[in-house]
Amino acid sequence: MGTTTSHIGQAEVVVDATYTHRWYGAVGPYVNQVLEDFVQTPYIAASTIGSWLTTPSGASTHALVAGALGGNMLITTAGAENNGITSMQVLGEAFLPTANNEIYFGIRFQISHATQSDFLVGLCITNQTPLGGITDGIYFRKIDETTACNFVVESNAGTETSTAALTVVAATWYTLEFRWNGTNLYFYVDGVYVGAPVVTNIPTVEYLTPTICFLTGEGVAKTMTVDWIRAIQTVG
């Protein structure tokens, strides 16, 4: 394990030496990045964590908690079906997968129940209910009553490409990632490349922002624990 640096576009990017698709940070002109380890993020109000805007349903909460690898964020849903964090997004939209840009997104998390829960993690247009349907985004999505998680690429209000990504198991850490290289999208589960490159329905018009959603699928509270989330964009 270790890191190396790579010149990508007009930036120097810190890259994992083993998982070379994985970025840790970048320096250069026009770099956009969100590097969130949930260690000392200041809370401003009940619905805000740092520069994130959170929309809870019911008495659902998020909180910073201790973790083996540093801080974690714990989402705890309220006890009615579809309670949870319906939308947690970084304020502002800065990520656009065009031919001039390269993008990395990654997140490490686990959930307490694999079937009776919904989640969405990735880059989306600003929306307070992404699981209810959005116009543009690149994300991993699991819906209630199934353990199947798909990688979804969507543009123009409902035109989407959906590819099977993994079968979710409760209380299991997952690292989900994708890379846009200016032409194709590649996605990874726990460092392993899955499927074929995605080349259709790329949302090249609307700027996107890091997004987390988590809901319970029954009248029982559920939890989602997030270790870290990163989104980095360089310009060619």
CATH number (domain holding residue 200):
2.60.120.200
pLDDT digits (tens, 9 = 90+) for 100-155: 999 999 999 999 999 999 999 999 999 989 998 899 999 999 999 999 999 999 99
Q: Can you tell me which residue has the tokens 């190396």?
A: 4
With respect to residue 113, please indicate whether it lies within any of the assigned structural domains: yes
With respect to residue 20, please indicate whether it lies within any of the assigned structural domains: no
With respect to residue 8, please indicate whether it lies within any of the assigned structural domains: no
pLDDT at residue 43, as a whole number? 59
DSSP 30-97: T-EEEEE--SSPPEEETTEETTEEEEEETT-EEEEEEETTEEEEEEE--SSTT-EEEEEEESS--B--
Q: For residues 181, 32, 136 and 206, what is the CA-based torsion angle, rounded to 10 degrees?
A: -100
Percent of the chain with pLDDT over 90: 83
Q: How many CA atoms lie within 13 A of 7 on its CB side?
A: 1
The structure tokens listed for 234 are 């360089």
With respect to residue 102, please indicate whether it lies within any of the assigned structural domains: yes
With respect to residue 164, please indicate whether it lies within any of the assigned structural domains: yes
Write down the pTM of the prediction.
0.95
- Where on the phi/psi map is residue 30: left (φ > 0), alpha (ψ -120 to 50), or beta? left
Domain of residue 87 covers 32-235
How many domains, in total, are found in the chain? 1
With respect to residue 5, please indicate whether it lies within any of the assigned structural domains: no
pLDDT at residue 82, as a whole number? 97
With respect to residue 11, please indicate whether it lies within any of the assigned structural domains: no
With respect to residue 25, please indicate whether it lies within any of the assigned structural domains: no
